[in-house]
Structure 1
Amino acid sequence: MSQHGHGHGHGHGHGHADPQVQAEILDLDAEVVAEHTASIVDWLPVPAARQVVDLGSGTGAGTFALLSRFPEAHVTAVDASVEHLRRLRTRAGELGLADRVHAVVADLDSDWPDLGTPDLMWASASLHHMADPARALRQAHDVLAPGGLLAVVEVSGMPRFLPDHLPESRLEDHRHDERLPHRGADWGAKLIEAGFTVEGERTVTVHLEQSAAVERYAEMVLRHVLDPETLGRVLRRDDLSLRSDRIVWAARK
């Protein structure tokens, strides 16, 4: 585990130290944006993939989207969190995919394990957690098969749930985490510096109306920025939504 409590090399956890809370947020995120994740995977300029590595897999949102998109693929899911990989393996078993998933506990800021020679690597909301993402990108370039593709997905900021006119919505803008100085970096430039050719970039806008899952997601994120009374008042509203932008880069070795 890293000093951030959720391990360098996986993302989405929004800075919470409790791995159970992080895992639940990751699972909720995977549930509510599943269609968006699938659309990102479908967009990748990869006709087929057999050996895939999910760098900072979390509980497996990307892993399972990739397995669905590429029926011949085997995915190596790498994460620093034992708890997240336990959930991922359990889910793989439930879906009958255990023989297509290999889980590896590793800190991607340290020495990388042997990841084979993948033709596709996926890094979703994980690079900004790393102490030295430029080093990680160089390592990814070295590991990829010739002509292989690295897909980088990063969120443009923290998810937003409150209507913009509410005074409390301003608190959603004041959660910059000084432990994550690389959030919002120019990943296209970093990919080029690491030796990649960027073949595509797109922004996927997520805007989901209120639902039980969105309400639960809002509660788990906003409890860390709102006092209990304000949080209770906010969660009784009927105009919550989930708004987030995800930027994707497709980079060729």
Structure 2
Amino acid sequence: MTHPTPAPHGSPAHSQPHGHGPHEIGHGAHGHGAPAHESHGAPAHEHEQDGLAELLDLDAELFAPYIEASMRSIAEAAGDDVKRIVDLGAGSGTGTFALLKQFPSARVTAVDSSAHMLEQLTRTAAAKNLDSRVHALEADAGTSLPGVADADLVWASASMHHMNDPMATLGIVFGALRPGGFLAIAELDGMPRFLADDAVPQRPGLERRCREALTTLHDEEVPHMGADWGALLASAGFTLEEERAESLELRPQPGGSAGLYAHGTLSRIRGALAGRVDPADLEALDTLVNGGPADVRRRDDLVVRSTRELWIARRPTDSGS
């Protein structure tokens, strides 16, 4: 979103040609051979966003303890009097609903550049009888946050690395916070890991090579993934209150959510890896998602590993209006 540390789970608050967060990898590549045309009456990009929303929800389910722990850490730093919250890159609403639970007197402005994602989020809010506490804002947070001012807390989960100019975005967030308000940034170190090096005997080290290829892709297309947010926050005028990284490991029961999570993740990266890894690796990757005996949804050796990082920073009270 994984957690026993905060689960970063959102979609880009600012759309770029190719989104490559841990769950946005392959965005624009249409996954495993899916055609880039309309299907069943809905545009292909909406089907892709639905797939991303499903992954975000699975991540939230698997790593719920981490998200809850992250929210508690934020509450300890920010105090109980948090009323106005902004979820930057809200995606399917994982962070929005976790924030509403942690801060029962608060309202959340859910910001995303995708109208489709926001429509899903508002439907979920209505189903949970939380719609009176949620305001959806379609905006490019890398440019402005129209109408947002005097926020007590901004939550940015797996969204900051998508910004073209992180320092400009941090300046916008700084201005949207009240003096003394808090910003929490949650990020991942890349695609989660699922299998041991020898899990695909014909191609040992398959997942490691895929991650290495995706790291190169990130460097080219999402250069701010893995940025030193602590240093950037300080440069933007924030006071860093807490910084931590946690390596998380889940050993789930066979089947269920973990298999679906691995299948969705590996299916999404397939298109992005074409031309970047050996064709034999692509063929081996196909065996993990094609419904056959080696499909990750059937395996009993899945271990979900992910490194999550959290920064909690405060706008100083003497920083002006």
Residue 12 of structure 1: how far off its partner (Å):
4.2
The reply on whether 1:23 has 2:85 as its aligned counterpart is no
Residue 87 of structure 1: how far off its partner (Å):
1.5
Amino acid at match of 1:65: A
The reply on whether 1:123 has 2:185 as its aligned counterpart is no
Distance in 2 separating the partners of 1:208 and 1:4: 32
Distance in 2 separating the partners of 1:220 and 1:152: 25
Residue 179 of structure 1: how far off its partner (Å):
1.4
Residues 70-149 of structure 1 mapped to structure 2, 5 A cutoff? 70-149=103-182
Percent identity over paired residues? 43
Residues 167-178 of structure 1 mapped to structure 2, 5 A cutoff? 167=204, 168-170=206-208, 171-176=210-215, 177=218, 178=220
User: Which residue is equivalent to 1:191?
Assistant: 233
* CA displacement 1:58-92 (0-9 Å, x = unmatched): 11111111100111100000001112111111111
Task: Decide whether the 8 Å contact of 1:202 with 1:249 is kept in 2.
Answer: yes
User: Which residue is equivalent to 2:263?
Assistant: 219
User: Which residue is equivalent to 1:231?
Assistant: 289
Residue 111 of structure 1: how far off its partner (Å):
3.1
User: Which residue is equivalent to 2:15?
Assistant: 2
SS at structure 1 position matched to 2:305:
strand
User: Which residue is equivalent to 1:248?
Assistant: 310
Task: Decide whether the 8 Å contact of 1:199 with 1:251 is kept in 2.
Answer: yes
TM-score of the superposition, structure 1-length normalised? Answer: 0.92
The answer for unaligned runs of 5 or more in structure 2 is 1-13, 29-47, 271-281, 316-321
Going from structure 1 to structure 2, the CA distance change for 1:59 and 1:39 (only over 3 Å counts) comes to same
User: Which residue is equivalent to 1:179?
Assistant: 221
Which structure would you say has the larger Rg?
Answer: 2
Going from structure 1 to structure 2, the CA distance change for 1:47 and 1:154 (only over 3 Å counts) comes to same
Amino acid at match of 2:223: P
User: Which residue is equivalent to 2:25?
Assistant: 14
Amino acid at match of 1:242: V
Going from structure 1 to structure 2, the CA distance change for 1:63 and 1:36 (only over 3 Å counts) comes to same
Task: Decide whether the 8 Å contact of 2:240 with 2:312 is kept in 1.
Answer: yes
Distance in 2 separating the partners of 1:175 and 1:163: 18
The reply on whether 1:206 has 2:248 as its aligned counterpart is yes
Distance in 1 separating the partners of 2:17 and 2:134: 26
Greater RCO (Cα-Cα under 8 Å, separation 6 or more): 2
Residue 30 of structure 1: how far off its partner (Å):
1.8
SS at structure 2 position matched to 1:249:
strand
* CA displacement 1:116-170 (0-9 Å, x = unmatched): 2101110011000111111101111111001011001011221111113442222
Amino acid at match of 2:207: S
The answer for unaligned runs of 5 or more in structure 1 is none
Moved more, 99-108 or 86-95: 86-95
